[in-house]
């Protein structure tokens, strides 16, 4: 974006402290890109920052709760102050899942947490960063909203999670029609990956699936090669 080559993009990743967000941040940093990462876990942000420091001192890690509109608004201000412009790429990766349960047995607070993180968290990032990409980024920028296979089909015991990811698919398709030419937003199903979230659903059999690190090799390449022609697409790694 902004005339930069593929070798040096700034990439904002939410939920950067663990799972696929962390793996993607490390992979992209290793390829020479600048990471702007956010998470609620300061200790994990610190360890990620120290891990990535040797190869680039320009990364920015922020303690942010994406489910809070005010917290995301402050992040947008900080990014503009520290970086002088919006990110080239945004990956809305922050997510959580309910404990396996029938819908009517999921406590209301747990349902709210899934929606507040997965759906509202993504909406908050779009609300505060799209205007910056339009006004300060020259109307360029790629946004990736992490979806799920369960955003395109239903599954028992994870109805809140499915609902949030179906919502991400619909939100993405609608926002795609609102963006100016030169920008793109896509819904990306990462596939099945051995993360804490998968272990909460699948138990020990989660270990049969690919690691976040091997996933990130493919995902990083795919994300870096997205163009405005992909706007509105539902893609899978």
* Residues identified as active-site: 161
The CB density around residue 87, as the number of other CB atoms within 10 Å, is 25
Tell me how far apart the alpha carbons of residues 195 and 168 are, in angstroms, rounded to a whole number.
Answer: 20
> Which residue's entry shows tokens 């028992």?
156
Q: Do the beta carbons of residue 152 and residue 169 sit within 8 Å? A: yes
**Cβ neighbours of residue 224 closer than 8 Å, sequence gap 6 or more:** 6, 9, 28, 31, 33, 89
* Cα–Cα dist 236/234, whole Å: 7
Contact 113, 71 (CB under 8 A): no
Residue 229, helix vs strand vs coil: helix
Four-point Cα dihedral 216, 217, 222, 224, nearest 10 = 90
Q: Which residues pair with 37 in a beta bridge?
A: 13, 61
Give me the helices (H) in 101-211, please.
108-115, 121-135, 159-176, 196-202
Q: Which structure tokens are listed for 139?
A: 């109307």
């Amino acid at each position: 974006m902004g005339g930069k080559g593929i070798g040096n993009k700034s990439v904002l990743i939410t939920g950067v402290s663990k799972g696929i967000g962390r793996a993607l941040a490390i992979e992209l940093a290793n390829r020479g890109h600048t990471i702007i990462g956010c998470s609620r876990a300061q200790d994990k942000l610190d360890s990620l920052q120290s891990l990535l420091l040797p190869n680039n001192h320009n990364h920015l890690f922020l303690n942010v709760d994406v489910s809070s509109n005010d917290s995301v608004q402050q992040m947008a201000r900080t990014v503009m102050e520290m970086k002088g412009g919006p990110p080239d790429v945004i990956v809305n990766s922050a997510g959580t899942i309910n404990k396996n349960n029938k819908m009517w047995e999921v406590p209301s607070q747990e349902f709210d947490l899934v929606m507040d993180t997965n759906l509202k968290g993504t909406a908050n990032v779009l609300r505060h960063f799209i205007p910056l990409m339009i006004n300060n980024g020259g109307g360029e920028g790629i946004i990736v909203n992490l979806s799920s296979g369960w955003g395109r089909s239903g599954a028992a015991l994870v109805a809140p999670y499915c609902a949030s990811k179906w919502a991400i698919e619909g939100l993405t398709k609608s926002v795609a029609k609102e963006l100016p030419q030169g920008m793109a937003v896509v819904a990306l199903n990462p596939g099945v990956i051995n993360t804490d979230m998968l272990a909460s659903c699948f138990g020990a059999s989660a270990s049969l699936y690919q690691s976040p690190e091997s996933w990130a090799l493919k995902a990083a390449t795919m994300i870096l090669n997205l163009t405005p022609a992909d706007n509105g697409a539902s893609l899978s790694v």
